[in-house]
Chain A
Amino acid sequence: MTESAVGATVEAFGLTDRGLVRDGNEDHFIIAHVNKTIDVRQTSMSSRAMPQEFSGVAGYLLAVADGVGGGPQGELASERTLSALLSYVGKAATCFQGLDADAEHELMDKLEAVVHGVHAELLAEYGGVTSRLPATTLTLVLLVWPRAYHVQVGDSRAYVRRGGRLQRLTRDQNLGEFMVSLGAWTDDQARMASTAETLSSAIGGSELEPVVGLIDLAPGDSLMLCTDGLTKHVSDEEIAGALAKPQSAEETSRKLVSDALAAGGTDNVTVIVVRTTPT
């Protein structure tokens, strides 16, 4: 997918793979253009007089979700979450440009509400017993150029590469990260602990604490979203190296997934790479 936003061309590509060990793939991803619906076919007005808010791409929705629990239930949770997200963004598509502070808060509240909504639906469906719920992570980015709003649940990740430097936009919501942050475990202890990967927050989990943030992108920045099937095999340094190469979003996605498989592919692996270039 390549499209021009004001000031930048945005190219995105996503890829998911079952991996080499799992029987099925519980990951899902989505890359969507959020378009306006008015399509002026003919007019006597000059292009200068045409309202810009009705032309071009309003935004881009990018999301990865990693179903938890094994089997169809995990896949159901990740698929349903992305479906609900699409539904909301589709309804709100015309309201994204020129957001003031209140409207931005409303947008972020609603993205968060989608997450809580899917969680509540799953809870109702499974009789309120969280231990039986299908669960999923979610890392989503809504890019309304240049602003990228992100919402994070669980241990899928979003990275940004800017000026040769790779930085994580999200923090893993799992027991290992939580214990290290409190000083109760060292990084080494977290690496060794069998419970370190237990999610401390998940849609359908016993705890749900979506984390919301945003960043203004600049032409030349790259974004990468992934499930932990990538990061358990491919280090941040290797990710930085892959994103540094002057390749397309598709080539970079394929390279990263291939690296995860070559390193063992013990989990489903999903990657979305976004490249931006000046127009």
Chain B
Amino acid sequence: MLQKKICMVGMFGTGKTCLVQRYVHSLFSVKYLTTVGVKIDRREVQASGQPVMLMLWDLEGRDDTRDINTSYLKGAHGVLYVVDGTRRDTFDKMFEIRDLVTRTIGNVASVVALNKSDLTEQWQLKPADERRLADKGCFSLLTSAKSGVGVEAAFQRLADTIVAPTGAQR
């Protein structure tokens, strides 16, 4: 079976671990648990008509991009950038993180998860922010690990893009 490494990256507390937990175990944890190093999970999906094992590397969140251990990124086929939509700084920092990832492993398949979309009253992102992402060639979607909204779609989009025939849109 094809095996593809996906790295979850983003600032501290954006909900990377919760997204993986929702996607792999259909659970939502209300208790905040800090990831130290990398936690690895996996899930089998169908992409382009074939089974693919997604190896999900949940990287510890770092507020300073310089603290990200780039050796964890090596060999990744795709990246899920996770932004906390209730914290504007996590959106702005995402572009810096993306530059670092691109410098390290090149332009691999990616999706931006605008997470915690269930927290509508605290939401700080505007439609213009999503347009900015699109202008920069980033595919983004609203996600909520709590409700499950967008979670399947985010990982499925990554899987489809990774195994798409050569020449297909990334």
Contact = CB atoms under 8 A, between A and B. Distances in A.
**8 tightest A-B CB contacts, nearest first:** A101-B75, A215-B37, A183-B30, A181-B29, A213-B39, A167-B36, A212-B40, A181-B31
Interface of B: 3, 5, 27-31, 33-34, 36-41, 55, 69, 71-72, 74-76
Given A105-B3, A108-B40, A167 B34 contact: yes
Contacts, number: 52
A181 B17 CA distance: 12
A101 B75 CA distance: 5
Most chain B CB atoms below 10 A, which of A101, A183, A216: A101
A171 interface: yes
Interface of A: 100-102, 104-105, 108, 148, 160, 167-169, 171, 180-183, 211-216
A234 to B, nearest CB: 20
Nearest to B40: A212
Interface of B is mostly: loop
Given A181-B29, A182-B27, A216-B72, A105 B34 contact: no
Contacts of B75: 100-102, 104
A215 B5 CA distance: 16
A142 to B, nearest CB: 13
A211 B39 contact: yes
B22 to A, nearest CB: 13
Contacts of A212: 39-41
Contacts of B27: 181-182
Contacts of B40: 108, 212-214
Given A105-B3, A105-B5, A215 B38 contact: yes
A137 B29 CA distance: 23
Contacts of B37: 148, 160, 169, 213-216
